[in-house]
Amino acid sequence: MKYDTKTKNRVKRIEGQIRGILRMMEEGKDCKEVVTQLSAVRSAVDRTIGVIVSNNLIECMNKSKAEEMDELVQEAINLIVKSR
């Protein structure tokens, strides 16, 4: 699968958020601030997973026959459920 620039940029943004959290921890920032940022990262990762799975599903469905589509949809759902 090819990953588009938008998706790669999402991951780079997440990477920056993680670096920021590490910096906050090194500076001894309040627990609430750190946890808030970790929660934001978790949400960003969840959204990125959804984008990747849906893009892959669309790509696979465009290449597949009708009888394979149910299996592809179920596989995509399983990926999303496992990520939680």
pLDDT of residue 44: 96
Ordered per-residue pLDDT tens for the chain, 84 residues: 789 999 999 999 999 999 999 999 999 999 999 999 999 999 999 999 999 998 888 887 777 776 777 787 888 888 888 877
User: Which residues neighbour 18 within 8 Å (Cβ) at sequence distance 6 or greater?
Assistant: 41
pLDDT of residue 10: 97
Phi then psi dihedrals of residue 50, to 5 deg: -60, -45
Domains with residue ranges and CATH for the chain: 5-83 (1.20.58.1000)
User: Which residues neighbour 44 within 8 Å (Cβ) at sequence distance 6 or greater?
Assistant: 10, 13, 14, 17
> Taking every pair of C-alpha atoms in the chain, what is the biggest distance, in angstroms?
56
What is the model's pTM?
A: 0.79
Q: Collapsing DSSP states into helix, strand and coil, what is residue 29?
A: coil
